[in-house]
Amino acid sequence: MNPLDVAFNRCSPRLLPRKAPVFSYLLTFGVTLLWLGLLSRAFASHSLLAWSAGIVYVSYDTLLIILITLTSLPLILHKRPQLHAAPLKNLSVGVIVPAFNEAPVLVRTLKALIQQKSPADKIILADDGSTDNSSQVLEQFLQLNTPKKGELSAASPRFSNIYWLRLPHRGKAQTLNHTLPYLHTDLIVTVDADTRLDQAALQEAKTYFTDHPRVVAATGILTPQCAPHTKGKILELFQRYEYIRNFISRYSFMRVDSLLLISGALAIFKRDSLVCVGGFDPECLVEDYEVIHRLHRFSVEHQQDWHTAVIGSVQGITSSPSTIGSFLKQRRRWFAGFLQTQHWNRDMIGNPKFKLLGLLMMPIKTFDTHQPVYGLSAFTLLLWYVLSGQLSLVLGILSIMLSKVMFDSLYHLWSILLYRRWTGLKHTSPIAYALLSSLLEPFSFQLLRHLGATLGWFHFMTGQRQWGKEKRAHIV
């Protein structure tokens, strides 16, 4: 057994479950019982309380937005730091680009890494058993012969810091774990093959990790990009503003040392810390999310004072689903993986040992496990009231929804203001489109998100590990 597996077996809560506090079970089952109780009101009341599931859903989301707004206030005074000519400490950087059938975007992604202001010391293109023409593309671009499976190539004669590793198809987590021993740099950066980094990304990452020595994992700011057809542009509109709000919320949770979501499409790790917890879990559908829980856990259990971060000056563009089918598959996988991780780490829920992570973030995540069910229930009830002609009840519900839409619109505008001050990205967030998105989202994109998440529930409950290929337009 290799050292990475030994470390993983020692640190994984999936393999070594911890005893969960009573509060964890009470909250988990309580959220379900609350939903059933609220749903029963639909059959026991003819007043607005019949829509209790919707009222609780709207109230929870509103409270969460207020919390995020309060904790993100420092961004209003944020000034983007000047880019150093060179990082204060010359941290070495290794980049892993895991790829499976990504031939159309490989060259662009690698070119973006080659053209960095502060280039990586070593870049490994880790081919996860591709069956398309990736080998031909890489042979021509890197001027290398296709290496044997399981062997690392020599450095490219064209680009001295790029190497090519071919592996049997085993999934992203296994690919990352297999590649990790070939890199002995201070920082490990994982970049999806369909993600293109801004030229200053690696330099900004080095600077941030130099200035914040207790940070062991971080992500940057990603802008989603979809195919140029009509469906793609509509989905891009909604996803773009969803990403903006999500990154603001990540900043908020970073401020209370409870950031759990580091985007695998652009993630930066301290190598020693990543190896210490055993790398990535191949059984998890969202290995990037799960490993952050293990890093937090290890930090608490071994008094390491480790932190996670989102860095506003580290930026990139990533391909996102351009069709409803691919979008639902993505969200199904994300939510099923979220449920896996929440279940394996249930001992952290309400556990004061983990401070605000256990007392605030994990309880919020427990409510989030049921949020899509609450949301779809609320919409289904509204539809039923419309079809059954209960107009007075429908008008009451619509007044609540209208108030929420107005509140959300203000929050969207506030988020864009903060996002622009934080990242300097203005062209990616037109105000008019933000307002259009906030008006349409509750009756369209939000329902799609909830549907994908509900499918994730079925995926999780049935224990499926396969989710099908998420088709994306290779446009990065």
> What are the structure tokens assigned to 338, written together?
């979220």
C-alpha–C-alpha distance, residues 445 and 68, integer Å: 21
The Cα angle at residue 307 between residues 216 and 70, in degrees rounded to 5: 140
Nearest Cα neighbor of 381 from 44, 65, 62 is 44
Asked if residues 311 and 209 have their Cβ atoms less than 8 Å apart, the reply is no
The model's pTM: 0.95
Nearest Cα neighbor of 62 from 399, 322, 408 is 408
How high is the pLDDT of residue 19?
95
C-alpha–C-alpha distance, residues 331 and 450, integer Å: 9
Nearest Cα neighbor of 362 from 38, 110, 24 is 24
- pLDDT over 80 at 431, yes or no: yes
How high is the pLDDT of residue 388?
93
How high is the pLDDT of residue 80?
66
C-alpha–C-alpha distance, residues 323 and 321, integer Å: 6
Does residue 222 sit in helix, strand or coil? strand
The residue assigned the tokens 């069709």 is 323
Q: 439-460 burial, b if ≥16 CB within 10 A, otherwise e?
A: eebbeebbebbbbbbbbbbebb
Residues 6 or more apart from 425 whose CB is under 8 A from it? Answer: 221, 223, 315, 419
Task: Specify the amino acid at residue 273.
Answer: S
How high is the pLDDT of residue 425?
86
Q: Bridge-partner residues for 99, per DSSP? A: 127
State pLDDT tens for residues 109-159.
999 999 999 999 999 999 999 999 999 999 999 999 999 999 999 999 999
In the chain, the percentage of residues whose pLDDT exceeds 70 is 95
How high is the pLDDT of residue 124?
99
- Maximal C-alpha separation, the chain: 75
- pLDDT over 80 at 231, yes or no: yes
State pLDDT tens for residues 385-418.
999 999 999 999 999 999 999 999 999 999 999 9
- pLDDT over 80 at 89, yes or no: no
H helix or E strand, kind and range, residue 276: helix 271-276
C-alpha–C-alpha distance, residues 420 and 123, integer Å: 31
State pLDDT tens for residues 32-58.
999 999 999 998 888 999 999 999 999
474 pLDDT band, cuts 50/70/90, is: low
CA 303 from centre of chain: 26
How high is the pLDDT of residue 81?
62
State pLDDT tens for residues 347-389.
999 999 999 999 999 999 999 999 999 999 999 999 999 999 9
- pLDDT over 60 at 292, yes or no: yes
Which tops the pLDDT comparison, 78 or 285?
A: 285
Tell me the angle at which helices 22-44 and 362-387 cross, rounded to the nearest 10 degrees: 10
Taking the CA of residue 441 as centre, how many other CA atoms within 13 Å lie in the half-sphere pointing to its CB? 23
- pLDDT over 80 at 268, yes or no: yes
Does residue 244 sit in helix, strand or coil? helix
427 pLDDT band, cuts 50/70/90, is: confident
Nearest Cα neighbor of 446 from 67, 52, 59, 58 is 58
Does residue 301 sit in helix, strand or coil? helix
In the chain, the percentage of residues whose pLDDT exceeds 90 is 90
**What is the domain partition of the chain in residue ranges?**
1-77+212-476
- pLDDT over 60 at 184, yes or no: yes
How high is the pLDDT of residue 429?
72
> What are the structure tokens assigned to 393, written together?
């009840």
- pLDDT over 60 at 472, yes or no: no
How high is the pLDDT of residue 364?
98
- pLDDT over 90 at 182, yes or no: yes
State pLDDT tens for residues 160-171.
999 999 999 999
